Amino acid sequence: MPDFAERFLALAAARSPLCLGLDPSVELLRAWGLPDTAEGVRRFCGTVLEAAGERIAVVKPQSGFFERLGPAGMAELAWAVGQVRAQGALSLVDAKRGDVAGTMAGYAAGFAGPDSGFGGDAVTVSAYLGFDALRPVLDRAAAAGAAVFVVVHSSNLDGRALQSARHPDGRTVSEALADQITAYNSARGAGVGPVGAVVGATLRPTDATILDRLPASLILAPGVGPQGASLADVGVRFRRALSRTLPSVSRAVLQYGPDPAALRDALDRYRDTAWAAVTAGG
């Protein structure tokens, strides 16, 4: 069976490289006139996924917006992941888990791969407790043909101070982490490996060299829309890695609901713009 990277590259060529965030927040449910309940989340997700159809390659459920409702919300997360699979897209659960290795083994069983508890194709993680602590989830994902996206250079401004801190050898935290990701992927052979990186679309030109340290990784690029980046920005800032980049949009599209036609129109605009950015960058 093809691994996550192979499936993404095929879907990006056939549909679009766009990644759509699935964010049933209190604010969006209210704006859509939906109850802040598991039923409201189901209706929200169903409408978004029906509108998405076969337009995009990846759907990224934000786990926190499901978890806030407890077990009922987690059941809706599992349902949404199943619906994404039924539509032939890839699911990337945005959970950003990060803990000691023993606990990460549990998260791996829950999130990493089609045979995991939630059945997702990929998951986001945080390496604050060290890259080696992530190995249980990295190894399980690699064995299952899934992917793990490690936060390297986030889209929020608050992350810059920590991520740009210097190691004794002169590298920033982000650079050192990128090097560890590349070493892991390279050890598994040529081509794009199972460990991707989260690099915000708000990337400054002076920080763009981080992409040179990730030659064997898919790049998840959140931050398009309210955080200030555009798909045109992605085309310029991620020129080094455009064929491997998943530009991610959430509120910029979801604000057009609950009208399915308006959602489809917004998705079509972003899909076409993503294609134009990739073509121009290539």
Instruction: Spell out the domains of the chain, with CATH numbers in brackets.
Output: 4-281 (3.20.20.70)
Mean pLDDT of 64-75: 98
Specify burial of residue 94 (Cβ count, 10 A radius: 0-12, 13-18, 19+): buried
DSSP element (H, E) containing 91 = strand 90-97
**DSSP string for residues in 160-177:** HHHHTPBPTTS-BHHHHH
Q: Check if the beta carbon of residue 42 is closer than 8 Å to that of residue 79.
A: yes
Instruction: Give the CA angle between residues 188, 181, 120 to the nearest 5°.
Output: 80
**Which ranges of the chain does DSSP label H, i.e. alpha helix?**
4-14, 26-31, 38-52, 63-67, 71-86, 101-111, 135-144, 160-163, 173-187, 231-237, 251-254, 260-281
Position 281 scores a pLDDT of 58
pLDDT digits (tens, 9 = 90+) for 219-240: 999 988 877 788 888 998 999 8
What is the chain's mean pLDDT, rounded?
94
Mean pLDDT of 232-254: 93
How far is the C-alpha of 169 from the C-alpha of 103, rounded, in Å? 30
- Its pTM stands at 0.96
Res. 78: pLDDT tops 90: yes
Mean pLDDT of 57-68: 98
How far is the C-alpha of 149 from the C-alpha of 98, rounded, in Å? 12
Nearest to 135 by CA among 166, 165, 112: 112
How far is the C-alpha of 61 from the C-alpha of 224, rounded, in Å? 16
Distance of CA 188 to the CA centre of its chain: 22
> What pairing do the DSSP bridges indicate for beta strands 195-199 and 219-224?
parallel
**For 153-185, b where at least 16 C-beta lie within 10 A, e where not — what string?**
bbbeeebbeebeeeeeeeebbbbbbbebbbebb
Question: Is residue 156 very low, low, confident or very high in pLDDT (cuts 50, 70, 90)?
Answer: confident
Res. 282: pLDDT tops 60: no
Cα–Cα distances (Å) from 53 to 50, 89, 196, 222, 237, in that order, read 5, 9, 25, 21, 29
How far is the C-alpha of 3 from the C-alpha of 9, rounded, in Å? 10
3-state secondary structure of 3: coil
60 is catalytic: no
Q: Check if the beta carbon of residue 122 is closer than 8 Å to that of residue 147.
A: yes
Position 42 scores a pLDDT of 99
> Catalytic one among 7, 42, 43, 96?
96
